[in-house]
Amino acid sequence: MPNTATTSKAPQEPAPSKKQTVLLSSEQPRTSGFDAIFKAPSQLGVHYDRHMQEVAAGKTTGQVQISKIDADKYMREYRNAEQPPPENVIRRQELHSDLTRMQRHDVVKEGEKDTELRSEKREKFLASRKQRHDDAVLECEAEIEKLHESCSDKLQGFSKAMKGYLQEMDQEAEKILKPLETNIEALGEQSEAWVQDLLTRLEAGIIARGTKIEEFDTQLQELELFRKRQALDRLTVMVNSCTAAAHCSPGEVERIVDQKSHVVNTLSLENSRKGSELSTKLREQNMENSKKHRRRWYEGLLRWKRQRHQTAVETVLRRIESREFRGCPELISLLARIRVQQRDVFDQRKELLVQVYTTEIDALNSNRLRGIEEQITAINDRTSEETDNFLVELKELKDTLQYKSEGMLNQLRTELEMYDARTEWGDHESVKSLVESDIKPHMDNCLNWIETLCLELANVLQTLDEWAHHTVLNLNTFAIRTATLLETFKQQLSELKMKQQGEIEDCIQDHDDEKARNEGEMRNFKELMEDEVHIEGLDVLLQKTFDKLDVIAQSYRDFARNLLDIHKSYEPKIMEFFEGQTDTFAFPFGLERKLEA
């Protein structure tokens, strides 16, 4: 029923009636009092963000429990936050508003359908807030679960890499120690520096293993710190989302966060404990391996000393029976006679050969080498009579070899005393006794044999000059044949290269010409497009351009294929050429090329 306000003035026209609406619907913005209920969780999320920034900056650690961060400050801010007005005040304000509105408007009773519609909207609004809240919680759980799976994969990768590294280091240590434990007979050929180098490599491997273990421990710690930081970020996002949804009270949100953070902290603590135990076990294992490898190396050192003792003795015995003593007198006698009576002949022949073999291979000339061959023949004719008179007594042979043998035996005694392999001395009390009894008799027999050999050496001396002449002549003949082959080889190789280069240049030139033509056509297409004013014409030009691009692409492929074919064809040609040259050059050396199976 309409009501009009009465004043001392003339009555006014009543205002048009308005439909009465609810105080707050889902489409209207919430008041400050309504929002104040949900400010505390937002402040908690802001505090989480600020805490994570401090952790990233190194100002604090990430070990703070999520449900215990600044609890007092949070409660003070919650108590001091703006609170909604009491219910009696709201009812009084609503009554006053209704009375004021009734003075100017007709009050129309809201129908039953409008009430149901408003209730339905309210239910949908509350359901949407609950759905947002549940989605935020489920999304946080899924992301944390995904984070755990990702960290587990990384942890498995770290463990697998560490296991593979340890296996490689064990194999490397076995490879280093294997020469000391297998093929013991060959140990005597190795030097002491070689044995010490094995120890150095072992120690370097132990140090590297320790460093790798420390890096592995650091990786585990960084992984757990990363897990905790990412979980805090996920929970912070969930708090903000739940606060925005405004489905439950701040305390309920805090309990949810506390429950989930407890799981994350428990898992992180357990992983840290197991990681520390694993690192400790790896360090202990590294120490045990170090002790075991050092012990094995020392046992190998003892075996090396015994083998080195045996090798030293066997080496001296081999030297006594070798050409060092039995063949050396012949060589010394030959050199002495060459120095005294045939120096000029030797120098002349040597000078000629030096001229031949010091010449660069590219500068060899067959005509000049034939002139040297004539000089060699003249030298031989001039010295043939002097060679018949060449007989010189071998002097001081016995004294020289005796001195050399004594030096070798003294060196052997010093070396055996340094090795100190007493298990190899047998019944002898000292190294000197061992050498005098077992080695020196062989040396005496060798010296007696050398004295007899020196007396018989003069009988074969007359043949040496002829041998030297034929040697020099054959070497020069070989050089002449080689020079002839080289000249032929250079000519044929130059022709082959020129032919190959000409084919490549022709192919490139043809491609460059085709590129120039294609570029000109593309520029024409561009100019036509710039002048064209119709869409249909542009489409036609664009299609022609694409077709031309296909042609250009095919052109590049054809060029690449042709150039590749040229290069591919060069390989069999050059192989065939060098195979033929190999057969040609192998013949003077008495060699024959055979294909591998």
Q: Find where tokens 């297998």 sit.
A: 182
Predicted pLDDT of residue 365:
78
Secondary element (H or E) of residue 31: none
Q: What are the residues whose beta carbons fall under 8 Å from the beta carbon of 229, sequence distance 6 or more? A: 52, 55, 56, 62
The closest of 382, 377, 372 to 344, measured between CA atoms, is 382
Predicted pLDDT of residue 394:
73
The closest of 403, 116, 48 to 253, measured between CA atoms, is 48
Q: What is the chain's alpha carbon radius of gyration, rounded to the nearest angstrom?
A: 52
Amino acid (1-letter code) at residue 270: E
Predicted pLDDT of residue 165:
84
Q: Are 220 and 155 in contact (CB under 8 A)?
A: yes
| Per-residue model confidence as pLDDT tens for the chain (597 residues) | 333 333 333 334 444 443 433 333 334 444 444 344 344 444 444 554 565 566 556 555 444 444 444 556 656 665 666 666 677 777 777 777 767 666 554 545 555 666 778 777 878 777 777 787 877 778 887 888 888 888 888 888 888 888 888 888 888 888 877 777 777 777 767 777 887 888 788 888 888 888 888 888 888 888 888 888 888 888 888 888 787 776 777 777 778 777 777 777 787 788 778 877 888 888 888 888 888 878 877 777 777 777 777 777 788 888 888 877 777 776 677 667 767 777 888 888 888 888 888 888 777 777 888 888 888 888 888 877 776 666 666 777 777 788 888 888 888 877 777 776 766 677 777 777 777 888 888 888 888 877 776 677 667 767 777 888 888 888 888 888 888 888 888 888 888 888 878 888 888 888 888 888 888 888 888 888 887 777 887 788 788 888 878 888 888 888 888 888 878 887 887 888 787 777 777 777 777 777 665
> pTM score, two decimals?
0.41
Predicted pLDDT of residue 44:
47
**DSSP-assigned letter for residue 53:** H
Secondary element (H or E) of residue 184: none
Burial of 229 (0-12, 13-18, 19+ CB in 10 A): middle
Q: Are 234 and 144 in contact (CB under 8 A)?
A: yes
The closest of 126, 62, 89 to 268, measured between CA atoms, is 62
Q: Are 388 and 342 in contact (CB under 8 A)?
A: no
CA distances for 210 relative to 167, 215, 218, 470, 592, angstroms: 14, 9, 12, 68, 57
Degrees, nearest 5: CA angle 406-409-411:
110
Q: Find where tokens 């869409």 sit.
A: 535
Predicted pLDDT of residue 38:
41
CA distances for 557 relative to 279, 288, 517, 554, angstroms: 58, 63, 16, 5
Write down how long the chain is: 597
- Extract long-range pairs of 194-200: CB within 8 Å, 24+ residues apart: 195/300, 195/301, 195/304, 198/297, 198/300, 199/294, 199/297
Degrees, nearest 5: CA angle 138-250-268:
55
Q: DSSP letter string over 386-418?
A: HHHT------SHHHHHHHHHHHHHHHHHHHHHH
Q: Which two tokens stand for residue 473?
A: 């002549």
CB atoms within 10 A of CB 272: 16
Interatomic CA distance for residues 313 and 112, integer angstroms: 122
Predicted pLDDT of residue 52:
57
